[in-house]
Structure 1
């Protein structure tokens, strides 16, 4: 199993999302499609400004590596700095496809929509991540 990880910002998210999730080729490639919304990394650090993201991220990557027999694509979408993220009009807060309320948020995408989701209060729990990864069709 391989996991293709792609990083996106607010500025380039649309193009990545279209190519990896919404195009006809992506729809038929058989890969597990995952969106991971995270806080931006602190300058000069591998950590984000969000403590929950820093706890959940390694758990999610560990569980992804345990996913057997399926290829996956993980689009890591960085929400911006704290002031950008806290704006109630943040594009991913108001977009009905995502309707984010917190970070990290992990979404399994199937059939053009969110099939399963873990919010900031669950994204660090191995059993919850495993359940999300096993959700849907195989």
Structure 2
């Protein structure tokens, strides 16, 4: 069964990656959610149910990390950690990736189940 982990912020994400080293790791970077569970990011709202459904097709031993990048103002800051980190260099949310590979989907592509399913499939 896919292990699902939810974290907030870059350091928590990197800790989760380290903890699950050696496994296939998928990561979804998304706008933070408010008290009602709604993200400020409309593309993230559209992508969430698609990704949630498609992750069921991920390899059995995979780890799926959902990482909140912060509120809109934090994300829009061009110097924020997610944009500048050498292994991430995020340019948009949502971004769905297979960690350690160039495979990634961004923005509205994260709401296209055919693309999301393909990313989760085994090599």
TM-score (norm 2): 0.89
| Uncovered stretches (5+) of structure 1, i.e. residues with no partner | 21-25
The answer (yes or no) to whether the contact 1:36–1:75 under 8 Å persists in 2 is: yes
1:128 paired residue number:
115
Distance 1:100 1:69, change over 3 A: closer
Distance 1:121 1:96, change over 3 A: farther
1:23 paired residue number:
none
Larger RCO (CA under 8 A, 6+ residues apart): 2
More divergent stretch after superposition (100-109 vs 126-135): 126-135
SS in 1 for 2:17: helix
Q: Distance in 1 between matches of 2:59 and 2:12?
A: 30
Give the paired residue count: 122
| Uncovered stretches (5+) of structure 2, i.e. residues with no partner | none
CA deviations on 1:64-121 (whole Å, 9 max, x unpaired) are 12x1762321111100011110000110111121110111100012xxx224100113
1:7 paired residue number:
6
Structure 1 consecutive aligned stretches of length 4 or more whose deviation exceeds 3 Å: none
Distance 1:69 1:17, change over 3 A: closer
Distance 1:95 1:135, change over 3 A: farther
Query: In proportion to residue count, which structure has more helix?
Result: 2
Highest CA radius of gyration, 1 or 2?
A: 1
